[in-house]
Structure 1
């Protein structure tokens, strides 16, 4: 056996370690192909799409009370949310994240829901502070909603009264981790796999 033949054989085995008869996964019809059931293409697409979403989160600020000051502090130069791809937007139609910061009262609840409904899908909600999480200090007041999760679905809760700007940054990082784990294809609105 010549040296050239040996090198060519090694190159062939490195590119295709299985015999030619066993490598037919791509050539099989869709009904018999186990790779299509595992979603090999969709997994790569999910990773790419989720990477893009985590790098360009645009929150709609819904500052209702003193927690909004800490939210502004998180966007200032010391913590600089821009380095995480977080850019505050003035319009719900340009946003994919809503940060509810402060006490939500019954009169403001329909406006919160309306703004949430105007946001394009996919959308996420961060509840910031004790008042937004569960009513906080004003929990037993007649006019306070006992948590914004009664009005909109909440993805991340940031505790504190008021929570620090660092806590909000940590909550945003947790939301980015949650987005990276999400599956975008093959699921319907309820989160269940399509049959």
Structure 2
């Protein structure tokens, strides 16, 4: 026992200081995608190489521009590699969570600033408000590959992230939950289970779509077996994109959902 105490004192505190202190992602981590419309030459390379059709051409205001959806993106990096003009840049920003799915769109070529601001980059300099209440979460796997579940497990199975320090706990029954954390496209086989779970959760309740599959169907979109996103089955309050999102991104999503981040 004494040896364990001695080791603990020697190791010191290993719990992450995020979100009170900014914790940068590794340099090779793929996060928010930026498009430089001045460099873009409409060569269509990114559109052709994207495996989830996250890039599309849109006609608006008499102008043709490139649009990218973080909800569909799996952050594979193929677009950045394929672009011959270096117009596509992948940053290591993981704070992409939003309450409005349209805010996950990056529009290149229009004189709009909402895309970057709505994605949460401006929130980086904001402080976190006082915690208002605890949150009981029921995790619902609606046909995912379990990649997102591994990241959620990382939030609880180590002292590094320690999600419980924010008063956020996983519960076994939706009847005890305030929030549903849903992963998966969802599949048609689990559509009924998701609807029943949603109705079993007492009001007021909140639904968080976790991962690219939950946000848009991901790599399983436009398939006979899926519904192309959780919001096609039940209402969604918060979208956390990524394939899968890193643990800090999930923490950011929870705090944004609880309005613990001042805008």
Superposition TM-score, scaled by structure 2 size: 0.46
Counterpart for residue 174 of structure 2: 92
Larger radius of gyration: 1
Match 2:135 to one of 26, 32, 57: 57
> Residue 154 of structure 1: CA displacement?
0.6
> Residue 81 of structure 1: CA displacement?
1.1
Counterpart for residue 149 of structure 2: 68
Residue 152 (1) aligns with residue 234 (2): yes
- CA deviation profile, 1:65-105 (whole Å, cap 9, x unmatched): 32111111122321111111101000001001000023310
- Contact (CA 8 Å) 1:55, 1:86: kept in 2 or not? no
- Contact (CA 8 Å) 2:206, 2:237: kept in 1 or not? yes
- Return the alpha-carbon distance in structure 2 between the equivalents of residues 131 and 96 of structure 1: 22
Pair 1:155–1:73, CA change in 2 (3 A): same
Counterpart for residue 193 of structure 2: 111
Counterpart for residue 67 of structure 2: none
Q: Matches of residues 22-37 of structure 1 in structure 2 within 5 Å?
A: none
- Contact (CA 8 Å) 1:67, 1:129: kept in 2 or not? yes
- Contact (CA 8 Å) 1:95, 1:120: kept in 2 or not? yes
- Contact (CA 8 Å) 1:100, 1:127: kept in 2 or not? yes
For this pair of structures, how many residues does the alignment match?
130
Task: Note the residue ranges of structure 2 that are not aligned, 5 or more in a row.
Answer: 1-129
Counterpart for residue 45 of structure 1: none
- CA deviation profile, 1:121-154 (whole Å, cap 9, x unmatched): 1100110000000000111221011010111111
Task: Note the residue ranges of structure 1 that are not aligned, 5 or more in a row.
Answer: 1-50, 182-195
- Return the alpha-carbon distance in structure 1 between the equivalents of residues 209 and 181 of structure 2: 6
> Residue 180 of structure 1: CA displacement?
9.7
Match 2:206 to one of 124, 127, 149: 124
Match 2:221 to one of 132, 139, 162: 139
Q: Which moved more, 1:60-69 or 1:152-161?
A: 60-69
Superposition TM-score, scaled by structure 1 size: 0.62
SS at match of 1:58: strand
Moved over 2 A (4+): 178-181
- Contact (CA 8 Å) 2:184, 2:217: kept in 1 or not? no
The structure with more helix, counted as a fraction of residues: 1
Pair 1:82–1:98, CA change in 2 (3 A): same
- Return the alpha-carbon distance in structure 2 between the equivalents of residues 81 and 140 of structure 1: 34
Tell me the C-alpha RMSD between the 2 structures. 2.1
- Return the alpha-carbon distance in structure 1 between the equivalents of residues 189 and 172 of structure 2: 21
